[in-house]
A and B are shown apart, each in its own frame.
Chain A
Amino acid sequence: DAMVIQNPRYQVTQFGKPVTLSCSQTLNHNVMYWYQQKSSQAPKLLFHYYDKDFNNEADTPDNFQSRRPNTSFCFLDIRSPGLGDAAMYLCATSSPGGAGKEQYFGPGTRLTVT
């Protein structure tokens, strides 16, 4: 089945130690998104790629970076995780010109910062 895959599902990192979360898709969608979701809160968009064009949300901290080496993969890098960065990180894809605005989500990676 075509889908969005996130690895790992659970990630534990130490305060200040860089961490990378990964997302891959088999849908061939041209847009990939990263959301941060904290408990009892709405998913908050951090940034997205439309093809190779990177679009950062104005309030996304510089501590968060992203890479998209090809259509299928997208990475979220947290350069110096703080305790406040513990959250669920959701990857999603869409194809605005084709399948419309529906976003397809991965299962998420739960990040714990110790």
Chain B
Amino acid sequence: AQRVTQPEKLLSVFKGAPVELKCNYSYSGSPELFWYVQYSRQRLQLLLRHISRESIKGFTADLNKGETSFHLKKPFAQEEDSAMYYCALSGRGAGSYQLTFGKGTKLSVIP
């Protein structure tokens, strides 16, 4: 069975400090990993996906197959980064399009 684990329910950091939101997964095969974000009073939306190898709003995430992790990182946190972050997993291939979500981590950036 596929599973996504986000060990921290809440993470508080000071503005300008580095941020790392942890995500570990369990999947028999090659997964696709995503980070979704939900800002206050806004809908859940995609932040980034591992296959794009992109940096969005200063965030990056690298898929580590050996550690089965997909941690989200940002070198300098901003107040506007405060939000709920969900790690999600899908299988590879066009037939595997459903997502399994982690329970989420609430990031609070302290001014």
Give residues in A with beta carbon < 8 Å to B: 4, 31, 33, 40-43, 45, 48, 90, 92, 94, 96-97, 101-108
Whole-angstrom distance between the Cβ of B5 and the nearest chain A Cβ: 10
Partner among A4, A40, A103 whose Cβ is within 8 Å of the Cβ of B99: A103
Cβ-defined contact, A45 with B98, below 8 A: yes
Cβ-defined contact, B44 with A105, below 8 A: yes
Indicate whether A41 sits within 8 Å of B97 (C-beta atoms), given known contacts A101-B90, A107-B43, A108-B43. Answer: no
Find residues 40-95 in chain B having any chain A CB closer than 8 Å to their own CB.
42-46, 49, 86, 90, 94
Main secondary structure of the interface of A (DSSP, over half): strand
Q: Which A-chain residue is minimally distant from B6 (CB atoms)?
A: A42
Judge whether B103 is part of the interface by a CB distance below 8 angstroms.
yes
State A22–B86 Cα separation when bound (angstroms).
24
